[in-house]
Structure 1
């Protein structure tokens, strides 16, 4: 592959600055191939494994092309799970930060009213799960008349989860003149049908994994009955000493039970499952990404499309019933060129599931030897010593971007007839502030938020002390994170 650079792709300064601050050094293979095609206005079908950098492959060129002044959404991204939708929205927000892109994530288990209000403001990019997206289009809350870009992410997952008909229903409601981009780890017949029917001469791209899964991820299984699983898990934790691990259970009850058993033993762990409120799920995921705890015990919702760097181990405490879930769970480790270990517990009655997984995906999962008392004792001493060292938290991906941005709360909103232009005008009139220093403005009924870029937040707070907006006295303070 030629040594290419993001600067060679003809991107604007705002986008280049954001991707540099996000730590993107050189385009990955999928980015190198896909970005120029989207910039040229071509439909793309990309077969690419998770962890290959595909979100940025579509978010970078689309962010480049968006027209800021257009009030209606121009981009619709469909994703199979809430977690993935939220993550893509965050990625778009970070990449388009200096361009002032506004992004919204819409999904179930969150009040419709909140999402409807958000969509009443100018939003450039909408990322949603198919059910809620279709619902909001039907209600007239999501206007799709100006959609120029449709992205279908993890298309094969949409199929597995039974969302493909909803995806088709949404596609029928979108303008004919648009770019359609489809990303999938596999290309089943139905996905190919979808592309034939709804895409215009799509360019097919296949990104071969640099090294096979078998090279990157050590796969082992242990035969163990249900009542002995926890005992075996303890032994393996001491012997394997995971830096960061995801432990998968079949049901949320199993997740809760195992988390409480692990906490009783003093392990640094937390739970993640579909019964939790979305904000709690998001917060838990972010804490795990930062390395605030070592073990995330989860149902399969966390296996799909979640990108956490440096997960050293995936442990299938319960073997998955759906064969594809094994691949998705395993894909949480060994990402971005790292190595990983996938461990599966199998009861005697479940052995055939293991054989089916091996057969379908041509995998060789080796039988593990249960560690000896000697190994466990030695491992436990090392593990306990390691626990005494303070954990160094990982830096959030967008820390560099956010460093220069201050979010300011202003005590006036729609009810006082305040519009974005009023806030932008007042802020820009402060000495030392240019219109380019004003970021995203978010106006609610009784208050507003404005992001100030270029590290000039304090200057603006000072300047707003003796300013009025539209003749109204306001209170301005740093927004609570």
Structure 2
């Protein structure tokens, strides 16, 4: 069994057990540098980009040192967007799996009454957007005077979104004798001033400079799936593409075992590799894969490090990696020896932000691909069978069967005979029915009218951020945006219209009270 290098950082057993369960065995650069310093109780200014494993870097030591006290909030994490707040909260929940901790994410676009009730029941850690946290402070629901840990995540993004005053107002409500961590990809003057005013003078500055990461020989795509349809979608993808040799990555050892079992039950040629397997097991599996006797290899990031195979045509990220660097290492397994490779990543709607971050830091493009339909699988498989038939004809192996067909007592046309034989091969190789609906119907879009325009210095980015912060509706629900001189139009999915109007109309935006209403001309995107 491989040695988990997190055990060298000084974390307690419950936290290490959770990290083991999550499948992480080696800390990223930022984790290795930040965790020991935070465990010592020091303030940290961390300069690192999204995709470096920041949440585990601050979450593990925070949970390690946090002391519960009934009825008191002991830690608060501020994040710029609803999406990031949810993501951070979920990651902290995984790290605290074996600890008795109550976590709550608070953000706009969700019932504040429900959040208030949850806080009153007792919460140890709050993760939230500045606007909603400040709202709850002003309502005297959140009391930060007992907070031992304050984390400002993606501080430069919060600055760009205009939250700097909100952050200062929140920090002023925290007790002075606390530990503070500030993470920011860049260090503009305003962020430096914030750190100077509200952090200890001897705060440690830890910067992780990421290498330029590009993989030019690999075509990169992502598929958006429903959360419960990931495996079904995955099967469709590999059946249509029919890879010669593919490495499939899962985040955890358990994930590897479960995916291998599911694939084997459907007849795929597949085995797995992870650190709990013996060296002999791993070597035998790798040998079969290299020799072409195994079509699919499912592995964790650590187990895949020893894989050096030139004929890998596909890399598939069944789970997203821990960080951007891991993504680059994964997809670098294909596209070798001057051959073009293909990398697919399977994501849910909530994970789309990670795809954008990977694009940003690798300076590459990950294009969206539509999930294959049942007819796509049928056509692809039939084409594959026909190609094999054509190759067989070239070898003359088929001729010994001619007399069998000619002497058959059944008078069947050559076309019907060929179709029946193709059916037998198809049904044997695709031994299950694709009946589940994994593809969302195209949503209807409604056109909304807004009382702001170019004269107010409106931009699509500002509008999307405003809607997300106040209603929790992300850009994946929004279509075209038309900005005119004094007003604008925006197309949104029909099922989010009420939410946007209720939570955004009447709010102050760009110096004026915003009014939103359904346009007299609604249309589809």
- TM-score, normalised to structure 2's length? 0.45
- TM-score, normalised to structure 1's length? 0.49
Larger Rg computed on CA atoms: 2
